[in-house]
Amino acid sequence: MTETATATGPAPMTAGTSTSAIAPTAAARSKSEQAYEAVKSWIVDGTYSPGYRLVLGTIAKDLGFSVVPVREAIRRLEAEGLVKFERNVGATVAGIDPTEYLYTMQTLSIVEGAATALSAPLIGGTDIARAREVNAEMRECLKHFDPVRFTHLNQDFHSVLFEHCPNPHLLDLVHRGWNRLASLRSSTFRFVPGRAHESVDEHEALLRLIETGADADEIEKAARLHRSATLDAYLSQAKNL
């Protein structure tokens, strides 16, 4: 069944407040870009769920824009796989492809593990402290679990560990993997919240390996298995759905 954006969409924003609501520098960007970011954020955070009907006029009214920039934004989101057009229905939020998720996670476990191992010698005390700070926020998040926030923090944590990778091609593959997960609106922790507790503990173990100057192969294996464990937990849960 297709849902409609008019039913439970985000609270309308007036023309005078829409730009500041999207981002502090929104006024400097085109309305098409602002519409793109707003609609994409509503898709990613689940406000617009798979199958949700995107009524251009309603979205434009909510944002305080004309339909033109919204249409451009929707076309851009279609190209990214977040939106699809159905005959006699129009634009709807695309569903999540479990096979694509599987392939993305398998690939990311390999490239991110390698990138983290290559980054390890370049990660300093400040980086370690920042990663621990994020992991502490993740642990705090477990008390009143918010899977979307936890997933954002999880990306922040891993970014600290792989961003020093000296191989730009490998780093590009990691970024592509994370972007693909975002396009899938994938918060595995929504489906397997118990995995979140294990993930935080594994983060600390990974930090200790880097701190103590562990062998690159050991760090790569730990980072790869950490990612694979999340995939395995998801696949195990999916079998029971």
Phi, psi of 85 (to 5 degrees): -105, 125
| Confidence at residue 87, expressed as pLDDT on a 0 to 100 scale | 85
Domains 3-93 and 98-239 share a fold: no
Mean pLDDT of 142-154: 90
Q: Is residue 157 pLDDT above 90, yes or no?
A: yes
Beta strands in the chain (DSSP E): 3-4, 52-53, 83-86, 90-93
Tell me which residue of 5, 4, 183, 190 sits closest to 94, measured CA to CA. 183
Tell me which residue of 97, 230, 229, 119 sits closest to 174, measured CA to CA. 119
CA atoms of 41 and 48, how far apart (whole Å): 9
| Confidence at residue 18, expressed as pLDDT on a 0 to 100 scale | 44
Q: Is residue 192 pLDDT above 90, yes or no?
A: no
**Torsion from C-alpha of 181, 183, 188, 189, nearest 10 degrees:** 110
Tell me which residue of 54, 104, 112 sits closest to 84, measured CA to CA. 54
Residue 115 near residue 165 (C-beta atoms within 8 A): yes
Q: pLDDT over 90 for what percent of the chain?
A: 60
Q: pLDDT over 70 for what percent of the chain?
A: 85
Other Cβ atoms less than 10 A from the Cβ of 156: the count is 16
Is the CATH number of domain 98-239 1.10.10.10? no
| Confidence at residue 81, expressed as pLDDT on a 0 to 100 scale | 79
| Confidence at residue 14, expressed as pLDDT on a 0 to 100 scale | 41
Per the structure block, which two tokens stand in for 228?
């694979």
Global model pTM greater than 0.75: no
Q: Is residue 28 pLDDT above 50, yes or no?
A: no
The topology under which CATH files domain 3-93 is: Arc Repressor Mutant, subunit A (1.10.10)
Query: Which residue ranges make up each domain of the chain?
Result: 3-93, 98-239
CA atoms of 207 and 219, how far apart (whole Å): 9
Give me the chain's average pLDDT, please. 86
